Amino acid sequence: MTAAVLEVENLRMEFRAPRNAGGRRVQAVRDVSLEVQEGEILGLVGETGSGKTTVGKCVVRLLRPTAGSIRFMGEDITAMPSSQLRPLRSRIQMVFQDPYSSLDPRMTVSQIVAEPLRAHGTHSRREAAGLVRRTVERVGLSQQVLDRYPNELSGGQRQRVGLARALVLEPRLLIADEPVSALDVSVRAGILNLLVDLQRTMGFSCLFITHDLSVAEFLCDRVAVMYLGEIVEVGTRDEVFGAARHPYTRSLLGAAPLADPVEQRSRQRAILPGEPPSAIDPPPGCSLNPRCPLADRRCTEEAPGPTQVSEGGHVVRCHRVQEQLDLEVARS
């Protein structure tokens, strides 16, 4: 087994709720453990409010987690003081969702891409200029853009600039937070292809946060599905998309419309009723129990622990799946 670049254990992140909610705490991330292996793309999939972005922000330490630990290449960065963290930052980079707010409107493309180099002072001015040029080329932009301002670029071009900034220091880990969600289909394809190519040539590991299942399936080696601050299912791409066990994952897969009228109209849809409950007051027991068709009494009382579905690391948190598996084992 290859080494883990990122290990997150029992991560918990709470925010103070808005004043009108009576000073209670929003439990954005309740208990998340995950690993990103060397050279792997791990998809973190979930709907709005599932806490997936918060996990990403904790990993890059834009947020300081309430509890749990984050280890990057073996080093615990959970509460590392910023002076100590700074050199490590060059190895963990992030790409953002919004191609418009993620670039400083008053800086040219070359200044933007050079910023990480300047921050870490690792290169001479000339080396830096060359590196910036090469990186910009690498993300599929022409040299002409170097002196442009972001507002002169299209959304897809801006997102490429964002990628160039993240990759100019050749990081080991890239956190990509919905990097293609704001883009049109034809532009999105280019960015996804580029990500695949860059990941293969540069070999970085990637935590890819998305709500789009088809994007996750296209890109990711392994996928973790989040619901209400917890990972409910994790496994390889084949396991999650081909043999999902958790009722929530199954519902998600059934809910995403397929761009094919024949398939879309003929398939079985078993979509969860209702909407996710508030993260201020998550339900006791399994967080899905109020919406789950399989839920029984145990689900309302006791939070399910991780259940190993396959040797490869397909893990599900669901009492009913566990019972099924136990039954299968007993039968054989």
* Residue numbers 289-328 binding another protein by CB under 8 A: none
What would the 3-class secondary structure string for 96-138 be?
CCCCCCCCCCCCCHHHHHHHHHHHHCCCCHHHHHHHHHHHHHH
| DSSP letter assigned to residue 272 | P
Place of tokens 């439990």: 27
Name the phi and psi angles at 210, rounded to 5: -155, 160
22 binds another protein (CB under 8 A): no
Place of tokens 């973790």: 224
Of residues 148 through 167, those in contact with another protein by CB under 8 A are 148-154, 156-157, 162, 165
Rounded to the nearest whole angstrom, what is the least distance from the CB of residue 253 to another protein in the complex? 8
Scanning 24-32, 87-95, 295-303, 313-321 for contacts with another protein by CB under 8 A, the matching segment is 87-95
212 binds another protein (CB under 8 A): yes
Q: How far is CA 23 from CA 33, 64, 72, in A?
A: 28, 20, 33
- The tokens describing 30, both together, are 């309740």
Q: Which of 2, 48, 266, 332 is close enough to bind another protein by CB under 8 A? A: 48
Length of the chain as a residue count: 332
Contact 320, 307 (CB under 8 A): no
Q: Which of 126, 265, 266, 311 is close enough to bind another protein by CB under 8 A? A: 265
Q: At what angle do helices 125-138 and 155-167 cross, to 10 degrees?
A: 130
Rounded to the nearest whole angstrom, what is the least distance from the CB of residue 319 to another protein in the complex? 21
Toward another protein, which CB reaches closer, 246 or 322? 246
Rounded to the nearest whole angstrom, what is the least distance from the CB of residue 287 to another protein in the complex? 14
CA dist., res. 312 & res. 236, Å (int): 8
189 binds another protein (CB under 8 A): yes
Toward another protein, which CB reaches closer, 242 or 305? 242
Contact 179, 162 (CB under 8 A): yes
- The tokens describing 127, both together, are 């080396």
131 binds another protein (CB under 8 A): no
CA dist., res. 171 & res. 271, Å (int): 39
Rounded to the nearest whole angstrom, what is the least distance from the CB of residue 328 to another protein in the complex? 27
Q: Which of 15, 241, 298, 313 is close enough to bind another protein by CB under 8 A? A: 241
255 binds another protein (CB under 8 A): yes
Rounded to the nearest whole angstrom, what is the least distance from the CB of residue 331 to another protein in the complex? 31
Rounded to the nearest whole angstrom, what is the least distance from the CB of residue 332 to another protein in the complex? 31
Name the phi and psi angles at 111, rounded to 5: -65, -40
110 binds another protein (CB under 8 A): no
87 binds another protein (CB under 8 A): yes
Query: Count residues contacting another protein (CB under 8 A)?
Result: 85
Which of 181, 207, 232, 197 minimizes the C-alpha distance to 30? 232
Report helix, strand or coil for 210: strand
Of residues 60 through 79, those in contact with another protein by CB under 8 A are 60-62
Mask of contacts with another protein, 169-188, x by CB under 8 A?
A: x--------------xxx-x
